[in-house]
Structure 1
Amino acid sequence: MLNHLFGILLFVQPSQKFFAVSFHRRRYDASRWLRSILLALVTALLVIFEFNLNLAIQIAVPLTQAKSNSNQLNAQSLVAQGQKLYEAGDYTQAVEILQQAIEAFQASGDQLGQAMALGNLALVVKQLGQIQASYNYITKSLEILQANRNVETQNFASLQVLAQTLEIQGSLLLELGRTQQALDSWKQAVRIYTQLGDEVGRIRSSINLAQAEQTLGLYRQAQRNLEQLVDSVDKQPDSVIKITLLRSLGDVLQLVGELDKSTKVLQKSRDLAQKLRSPDQLAATLLSIGNIYRASGNRASEQLNTFSEARLTPLHCRTSNAQQPISQEASQAYQQAVQYYQQAATLSKSPVGQIQAKLNQLSVLLEMHNWSQARLLSADIQPRLSQIPVSQTAIFTRINLAQSLVCFKQTTNADIPEWREIAQDFATAIKQARSIGDQRSEAYALGALGALYLETKDLDNAQKLTEEAFKIAQTMQLGDIAYLWQWQLGYILRIKGDIPGAIAFYNQAYDTLQSLRNDLVALNPDIQFSFRDNVEPVYRQYVDLLLLPENRASGIVNNKQPKTNQKKLQQARKVIEALQFTELENFFREACLQPVPKQIDEVVDKTDTTAAVIYPIILKDRLEIILKLPTESELYHYTTNQQANEIEKNLDKLQQLLTQPDRINDVKKLSGTVYNWLIQPLENKLANTNVKTLVFVLDGSLRNIPMAVLYDQQDQKFLIQKYAIALAPGLQLIDPKPLQKRTFNALIAGVSKEREIENRTFSPLTYVEDELRTIQSAIPKTEELLNQNFTRKNVQNQMQAAPYTVVHIATHGEFSSNAEKTFILTWNQLLKVKDFDKILRLGNSSKSRAIELLVLSACQTALGDKRATLGLAGIAVRAGARSTLATLWSVDDESTAVLMSKFYDELENPTLTKADALRRAQISLLESDEIPYLWAPYVLVGNWL
C-alpha cells in the first residue's frame, strides 16, 4: 500500500513553459529574432514539459518506510509552500523554503525526499538563470539516488524519482552545451519510464530527446522520432500530451522548412486543444501557427534579394527599407501571423504567455512597416514587464522589447522613445541578471547595451561594455553569445581604424562559428535563411578586412599581391568556402554535409594543368577576384570598385534578358559589362598561360548567370568561345576523377505529357521524346523510363539493379532557395531535393559505383527567387553525382536534343573533359543560332574532368 504522493508538480503551469530545457546555448543569435526573441524561445518552450502537470519530482513512499516524525511532516509542508511560491513567481523565496525542506528531509533520514526536494530546487534555481548552481543541485540529487540504486528496497517510487531527475539533468546539460550527455540522460529516463510502464513519462522524455537532436543539427532524425511518437499515441485517449506532441512535431517541421506540413500538424494540435477546452494549450499552439506564417513572410521577403541590407553589427536592425514595398505574398503571410498572435494573447491566462504573443506581433508589425500600430503595441507591452517576476524569462523579455524599440528608431528615425529610455531597459536587464546570478543573461544584456552605445557613436563605452560581455561569455563558454561580441568588437575597432585588431576579433568570431558548426543550421529556427543575418555578415565583413585595398581610387586596380599577403588571400578563400558550405547545410536544415578533402588547387596543380579557378567575391563596395593558376603556388588578387547594389542590378537585368530571344544585343551589352568586371582584369595573366578551362566558384547573383554568356566586346566573342567552363559549389570537389572509360550505362527518364500535380499544371514538353531517342542513339546501353513509367519506385528499382554511370532526366524541374520548392517532376509526384540521396545513392553506395554524370535538361530557376541556384547546388551535392549538368531555364525546343546529342558524342572522345564536351556542344549550337536563350542555359557543376 502506498502513502499519498507528495512533492512539487514541477511547479509549472502549462502557460509558463518550463525553462529547464528551453534556454540552451543555441537560442541567443543575432538575427531578426533579436527583435522577437520569444519567437525562438516559444518553439522550445512549447516542446518541453509545459504540458505535463504530473512531472514534478514526486515520490510514493510505502507506509512501512515512511517516518511520520515532525521533521518529515515539516519537510512536506515546506515543499507545499515552495510550490505555491513558485506558482506565484516568487522564486527567491521558494529557494529559501526548499532549502529548509531539504534540511528537514535530511534530519528525518528520508533520502528519497531529500533527492526529490533537491531536484525541485534545481528547477527553481534554473528559473533564476543560475544554471551551474542548478546543475550542482541536480548532481547531488542523483548522487543520493545512485547510492541507493542497488539497494533491494528500491521500488517504483525511487525509480520514478530517478527518471524525473535524469530528465532535469538532461535539460541542464543541454543548457550547458553538453548536448550528447543530455541525450544520454534522456535516453536513460526513457528506459526507466518504459520499465515502469509510464507512457506519459516516456513520451515526454522522447520529446526532449528530439530537442537535443535538433541542437545537434539532426532535424530529420528529430522529425522521424516525433512522427513515430505521434503514431504511438494516435489511438490513445485525447490528452494534453497529445496536444503538445503534435505542436512539437509541427515546430520541428517548421525548422526543416516543411511549412505546409507543419501547418497541418499544428492545426490538429489546435483542434485538439479546442476540443479539450484548454485555453493555454490553444494559445501556445496558435503562437506556433503564427510563427509559421511569420516564417513564410520572411521567406517571401528574403527571396527578393540576393544580399540583405548589410547587418553591420549583431543588434543592427535589418527590416526591409522603409521606402521599399513589401511583396504581396509576404504581406499576406505577415497579416495572418498578426491575427494568430492576437488570438494567442487574448486566450493566454498568464502574463508571460500574453507578452510572448504581443512581442512576436510587434516584430511582425515592424517587418510590415506598420509603425503606428508598432508604437501603440510597444506602449502596451512596456508596463506589462513589471507583472513578470525576475527570472531569465523576464530579463530576455525586457531585452526583446528594447531591441524592438531600437529597430523602430533605426528604421523610422523617430524621436520617441529616446535612446536613454531604451538604454535604461538594457541596464535594468543587467541589474536583474546580476541580482539572480544569471551570467548568460548578463553577458547578453551587456553586449546589447554596448550595441546601443555604438548606435549613438559612443565608441569607447561601446567597446568597454562589449569587452565585459565577451569576457563573461568566454568564461562561461557561451559560444553562441561570444561570437556576437567578438563580431561587435571587430566592427568597433574597424571604425576606430585599428584594422589588425579588427581582423583579430573577426578571426575569433569566425573560429567560434566554425566550432558551432552543428548549431549554425539551428541558431535561429525563425526562418530558413536566418543565417544570412546571424552568420553571413561575419564572414563577409571578415573577408572585406582581409582583402581591404590600400588604394581606394576608382576604377580597376590590378596588382599581384606581394607574398606577405598570400596568407590573407588563402584565409579569404577559406572563409568564403566555409560560408558557402554553411549556406548549403542551412538549405537542407541539416548538419549533414561532409567536406571532401580533395581541393581544387590539387586538381589544377596535378590532374588538369590547363584549368584555372576564379573566385569572385561580392562585397558592399567592390568586387574582389582571386585567381588560382595551375602549378603556381601564389594566388592573384584583383579589385573592381563597383557597388554591390549596382552589380546586383545589372545581373538581375541580364538574367531577365537571357530568357528573351529577341534581346540579343541587350544581352551582349550587359554581359559585356559583367565580362569587364570579372574577366578583363585577368586577361593578361590568362593569356600568358596554357589555360583552356575556367572553373568558377561563384558568389551571390553571379550564380544566376551562365558564365558562358559573358561577352568580350573587343574580340566580339562569348566566353564559351574562348574557354571551357565549369562551376564548383565550393573550393572542394565531389570526388574529382576523370572518366575512367567512355562506355556508358545510362538511365534516361522524362515526362513529355501535361501533368497536374500538387495543384500545379505542368505543360507538355514536346521535344522530350526526341531528346531521349537521341540519347539512346548516342548511348546504346540505356534503360528508359518515360511518362507513366517514370515514378520514384521505378527509379529506385533501376538504381538498385544496375550501376548506372549516367542518369539523364528530361522533365520539368525547379531550383529554389527553398529546399521544399526544389524538385523534379515525375509522372505522379514532385520529387523533392531532400529525397534525391534516398533514390540516386541507392545504387552507388560505394565510390566505385558513383554516378559520373547527372543531367537535368528541362529545369529552371524559380521565378522571382534571386537565390534560386542554391537549389541547383543542393541537387548537385545531394545526388552524390561527380558532375551535374543542368539548365538555368527550360528550353522546350529541338535545340536541346541537338545539343545533348552533340554532348554525348563528344564525351566519347577520351581526350576531352566533360567541360570540353559541353563547350563543343554549345559552340555547335551557337554557330547555327547565336541567340543565348537556346545555347547558354547549360551549366556543368562539380567535377569537370
Structure 2
Amino acid sequence: MEKRIDQGDALSLADEARRQALTTAAEAWRAEFQRYTRRLGELFTPSARTQLVDNTENNSSRLQAKVALDPAGAVGLHYVVTDERVAIIVASPQSSFGRFSNIKRTELNRQINALRQAIVNKADTREPAQALWQALIAPVQADIEAAGGKTLVLSLTDTLRYLPFAALQNPQGRYLVEDMALSLWAQAADVTPIPSTRPWQVAALGLTQAQGGFSALPAVKGELQGIVKTDQSPQGVLPGRIALDEQFNRAQLDQALRGQSNVVHIASHFDFKPGDESRSVLLIGQGEPISLGKLAVMNFSRVEQLTLSACDTATGGGINENGAEVEGLAATVLRQQAKSVLATLWKVADDSTAKLMQDFYRQRAQDKPPSRAQALRSAQLALLRGQDLPAVQAALKSDVARGGSRSDAPSSAMATAGTAPTAIDPKRPYAHPYYWAPFVLSGSWL
C-alpha cells in the first residue's frame, strides 16, 4: 500500500484503514521482538548478554534494510546458536521478529557434520538434510511464505557457516533450492545489494595444468571459453579476456582487479589451511602461489562480481568457536570491498563446475538478466534436474514455493533424491548435492 502511495495512487477508505491497522500491528511486532531479544539474552552469561542483545538488534536492523532493497522480494534469516537452542530472526522489509528452534548445539553440529560427510561421500543425505530442515527452516516456514520473498538472505554464525543450506530437504524430500534462491550476508563486510551498474565484462583467469602436487583441471579451458567471447572462443557469452596457465600470473591478476573488467573469474586450486593465512594459497599458472594473507591486502573495490571457481573458497577455520574460524577466501575479499563473491564449500568436481559456471553467466548475459541469486539457483537446478538451461528457465516460470577436487568425475551419483548411491543416471549425472550444493553467493545478490 505504501508503494502505491509512493507511485501517486490514492487509497480507498478501506485500504487506508487497513494500512493504519498494519502500522499498528508493526508496532506490536517490534515490541514483541524486543521481548524476544531480551529472552535470548537470558541464555547467555551476564557478561555476554548486553553485547549479544545489542548485536542481535543491530544485525537484524541492518539485514532488514538490505532485504528491503530487493524489488522482487527477499527475506533475511539471522541465526544465533546457543548451547540449548538456536534463535532464528526473520527480517522482512517492514519488520523483524524471532523464533526459537529447540536443537542443542551438540546435536546441530552432529547433523551438520553428518550431512557434509554424506554429501562428500555421495551417499544418502535424507536423514541429516531433513533433520536440519526441521530445525532451521520449519520454525520460520510460515513466516517466509507470508513475507512472499523469492530469495533467502542468510546471516550465519558458528558452524552454520559450514552448512550447504541449498541441500536441506523438507519431509517430502524437496530441496530448499527448489523453492528459494539463496545468498549469504556477511556481517563484517555489510555489502549493500545493488544491481551491476554496467554490462558485465569478464577477466577470466584459469589453471589447467598439474602443479605443485595438485591435479590438472582439464575442464577449466572449456569453462572459460564458454563464458568469455573472443576470436578464439566465439561460443562465449560475455565480452572479456582469458589468461590460462603460464599467462595467469600475479601481474594478470593485478590487471584484472584494476582494469576495465567488472567481473573477475578465477578457476584454479585453492589450498586452504585452517587458521593459517600464510599457508592458505591460491595456485596461479606462473610464479609463487598467492597466500590468503596477500589477498587480504589487495584492493577488490572495482570488482562487481568475483567468482572463485576453485575448492574450499567459501570455508575457513581455526581461530575460535564463535564462527570467526570459518572466514576464508570469500570473506577476505568481501572485506576488501568486492561487491559479490561466488565461492565453494568443499572440493568441487571439474566437469560439473564448468557446466554450472557457464549456465550462471549465460543467464547474466541476457538483455534482462535475473539477479545473481536467481541465476545461481537456475544453474544449480540444471545440474539437479539433468535439464538444459532453457528447460530449467521454463520450469522456473511456473514454480511456486511448496511447503574431491575439481578433477573428480561423477563416479557415483544418486538417481533420485534420498536413494543410496547407484550407477549414474545418464539423464541426471549430477543430481547428487555434491555437485551443485557447494556453491554459495555472498555480498550483493541482485
- TM-score w.r.t. length of structure 1: 0.35
- In the aligned structure 2, how far is the partner of 1:911 from the partner of 1:788? 34
In structure 2, the partner of 1:938 is 439
- In the aligned structure 2, how far is the partner of 1:875 from the partner of 1:933? 25
In structure 1, the partner of 2:311 is 859
- In the aligned structure 2, how far is the partner of 1:506 from the partner of 1:890? 38
In structure 2, the partner of 1:925 is 383
* Paired AA for residue 725 in structure 1: L
Question: Is 1:617 aligned to 2:80, yes or no?
Answer: yes
* Paired AA for residue 898 in structure 1: K
* Paired AA for residue 904 in structure 1: Y
* Paired AA for residue 217 in structure 2: L
In structure 2, the partner of 1:737 is 194
* Paired AA for residue 158 in structure 2: G
Q: Compute the RMSD of aligned alpha carbons.
A: 2.8
* Deviation sequence 1:238-266 (CA, Å, 0-9, x none): xxxxxxxxxxxxxxxxxxxxxxxxxxxxx
1:639 corresponds, among 95, 100, 104, to 100
In structure 1, the partner of 2:345 is 888
* Paired AA for residue 745 in structure 1: Q
In structure 2, the partner of 1:629 is 92
CA 1:744/1:822 → structure 2, altered by over 3 Å: closer, same or farther? same
- In the aligned structure 1, how far is the partner of 2:202 from the partner of 2:369? 21
* Deviation sequence 1:478-537 (CA, Å, 0-9, x none): xxxxxxxxxxxxxxxxxxxxx99x97x978x6xxxxxxxxxxxxxxxxxxxxxxxxxxxx
- Measure how far apart 1:837 and its partner are: 5.3
2:178 corresponds, among 721, 724, 729, to 721
- In the aligned structure 2, how far is the partner of 1:859 from the partner of 1:752? 14
Q: How does 1:495-506 map to 2 (within 5 A)?
A: none
- In the aligned structure 2, how far is the partner of 1:640 from the partner of 1:735? 29
2:56 corresponds, among 554, 573, 576, to 573
- In the aligned structure 1, how far is the partner of 2:55 from the partner of 2:335? 26
CA contact (8 A) 1:856 1:886 kept: yes
CA 1:678/1:927 → structure 2, altered by over 3 Å: closer, same or farther? same
* Deviation sequence 1:161-202 (CA, Å, 0-9, x none): xxxxxxxxxxxxxxxxxxxxxxxxxxxxxxxxxxxxxxxxxx
In structure 2, the partner of 1:63 is none
Which structure's CA Rg is the greater one? 1
- In the aligned structure 1, how far is the partner of 2:91 from the partner of 2:219? 41
* Deviation sequence 1:430-466 (CA, Å, 0-9, x none): xxxxxxxxxxxxxxxxxxxxxxxxxxxxxxxxxxxxx
- Measure how far apart 1:818 and its partner are: 3.2
2:289 corresponds, among 803, 806, 830, to 830
CA contact (8 A) 1:885 1:938 kept: yes
CA 1:619/1:575 → structure 2, altered by over 3 Å: closer, same or farther? farther
- In the aligned structure 2, how far is the partner of 1:576 from the partner of 1:821? 32
- In the aligned structure 1, how far is the partner of 2:381 from the partner of 2:65? 29
Q: How does 1:137-536 map to 2 (within 5 A)?
A: none
CA contact (8 A) 1:745 1:779 kept: no
- Measure how far apart 1:915 and its partner are: 0.2
CA contact (8 A) 1:882 1:943 kept: yes
CA contact (8 A) 2:133 2:170 kept: yes
CA contact (8 A) 1:765 1:892 kept: no
- In the aligned structure 1, how far is the partner of 2:334 from the partner of 2:58? 20
2:270 corresponds, among 802, 805, 813, to 813
In structure 1, the partner of 2:249 is 791
In structure 2, the partner of 1:770 is 222
CA 1:684/1:874 → structure 2, altered by over 3 Å: closer, same or farther? closer
* Deviation sequence 1:560-594 (CA, Å, 0-9, x none): xxxxxxxxxxx3514779xxxxxxxxxxxxxxxxx
CA contact (8 A) 2:130 2:168 kept: yes
CA contact (8 A) 1:744 1:779 kept: no
CA contact (8 A) 1:733 1:943 kept: no
- In the aligned structure 1, how far is the partner of 2:227 from the partner of 2:362? 9
* Deviation sequence 1:13-42 (CA, Å, 0-9, x none): xxxxxxxxxxxxxxxxxxxxxxxxxxxxxx
CA contact (8 A) 2:262 2:304 kept: yes
CA 1:878/1:803 → structure 2, altered by over 3 Å: closer, same or farther? farther
SS at match of 1:599: helix
In structure 2, the partner of 1:358 is none
CA contact (8 A) 2:202 2:241 kept: yes
- Using CA pairs below 8 Å that are at least 6 residues apart, which structure has the higher relative contact order? 2
What percent identity do the matched residue pairs reach?
27
In structure 1, the partner of 2:144 is 686
* Paired AA for residue 327 in structure 2: L
In structure 2, the partner of 1:906 is 363
* Paired AA for residue 437 in structure 2: A
SS at match of 1:764: coil
CA 1:730/1:628 → structure 2, altered by over 3 Å: closer, same or farther? same
* Paired AA for residue 744 in structure 1: W
- Measure how far apart 1:779 and its partner are: 3.8
CA 1:694/1:763 → structure 2, altered by over 3 Å: closer, same or farther? same
- In the aligned structure 1, how far is the partner of 2:149 from the partner of 2:208? 40
* Paired AA for residue 337 in structure 2: G
- Measure how far apart 1:609 and its partner are: 5.5
CA contact (8 A) 1:767 1:897 kept: yes
* Paired AA for residue 294 in structure 2: D
SS at match of 2:257: helix
CA 1:710/1:872 → structure 2, altered by over 3 Å: closer, same or farther? farther
CA contact (8 A) 1:817 1:870 kept: no
- In the aligned structure 2, how far is the partner of 1:791 from the partner of 1:684? 50
2:155 corresponds, among 690, 697, 718, to 697
Question: Is 1:652 aligned to 2:113, yes or no?
Answer: yes
- In the aligned structure 1, how far is the partner of 2:343 from the partner of 2:262? 16
CA contact (8 A) 1:876 1:942 kept: no
SS at match of 2:328: helix
- In the aligned structure 2, how far is the partner of 1:907 from the partner of 1:797? 23
- In the aligned structure 1, how far is the partner of 2:245 from the partner of 2:445? 31
- Measure how far apart 1:713 and its partner are: 1.9
- In the aligned structure 2, how far is the partner of 1:878 from the partner of 1:711? 32
CA contact (8 A) 1:753 1:764 kept: yes
CA contact (8 A) 2:356 2:383 kept: yes
CA contact (8 A) 2:204 2:264 kept: yes
CA contact (8 A) 1:834 1:878 kept: no
Question: Is 1:748 aligned to 2:204, yes or no?
Answer: yes
CA contact (8 A) 2:292 2:329 kept: no
CA contact (8 A) 1:625 1:638 kept: yes
- Measure how far apart 1:896 and its partner are: 1.3
* Paired AA for residue 225 in structure 2: R
* Deviation sequence 1:54-106 (CA, Å, 0-9, x none): xxxxxxxxxxxxxxxxxxxxxxxxxxxxxxxxxxxxxxxxxxxxxxxxxxxxx
* Paired AA for residue 831 in structure 1: I
- In the aligned structure 2, how far is the partner of 1:572 from the partner of 1:856? 30
- In the aligned structure 2, how far is the partner of 1:678 from the partner of 1:906? 30
- In the aligned structure 2, how far is the partner of 1:783 from the partner of 1:856? 17
In structure 1, the partner of 2:63 is 600
- Measure how far apart 1:677 and its partner are: 0.5
* Paired AA for residue 942 in structure 1: G
Normalized per residue, which structure has more strand?
2
* Paired AA for residue 823 in structure 1: V
- TM-score w.r.t. length of structure 2: 0.72
- Measure how far apart 1:925 and its partner are: 0.9
In structure 1, the partner of 2:407 is none
CA contact (8 A) 1:876 1:941 kept: no
- Measure how far apart 1:937 and its partner are: 0.9
CA contact (8 A) 1:778 1:904 kept: no
Q: Which runs of 5+ in 1 are unaligned?
A: 1-498, 510-537, 547-570, 578-597, 845-849
* Paired AA for residue 646 in structure 1: E
- In the aligned structure 2, how far is the partner of 1:703 from the partner of 1:860? 12
